[in-house]
Amino acid sequence: MIVLAAVEAAPAHGYAIIDEIRRRSGGAFDLPEGTVYPVLHRLEASQLLSSHWEKSPIGRRRRVYALTKRGKASMVERRTSWVQFSSAVNGLLAEPRPCRT
């Protein structure tokens, strides 16, 4: 979901995605390449992302990923799931009262 979210605003390539995630999370998520690249491949295999090769302004090859229609739909679901999930966790964390109303 995090990777999808990073690509959501604008298509990007792996390295830029890692930077974007780090930036947007205020440094909280500093994902290594060994995490992100396999995720990108899995998301493409699931047809949530599509990719094509580009040349950077200097001439380096880049694989640029974009959300597919299914990817956008998936993000809608995932946002909902995340809200439910985090609410549930907050509920669990916010109830440490053995006695005394």
Partner DNA sequence: TCACATTGCCTAGCAATGCTAGGTATGGAA
Partner DNA sequence: TTCCATACCTAGCATTGCTAGGCAATGTGA
Contacts with a copy of itself, residue ranges (CB under 8 A): 1-2, 5-6, 8-10, 21, 24-26, 28-29, 79, 82, 84-93, 95-98
Q: Which entry of DNA, a copy of itself, none binds 88, CB below 5 to 8 A by partner kind?
A: a copy of itself
Residue 7: exposure state from Cβ atoms within 10 A (0-12, 13-18, ≥19): buried
Number of residues lying near DNA (CB under 7 A)? 23
Q: Is 31 in the site for DNA (CB under 7 A)?
A: yes
Reported in sequence order, the residue ranges of the chain that DSSP labels E, i.e. its strands, are 12-13, 49-55, 61-67
Nearest distance, CB of residue 9 and DNA, angstroms: 17
CA atoms within 13 A on the CB side of 73: 6
Is the separation of the CB atoms in 83 and 89 below 8 Å? no
Binding footprint of DNA on the chain (CB under 7 A):
13-16, 31-35, 37-42, 56, 58-64
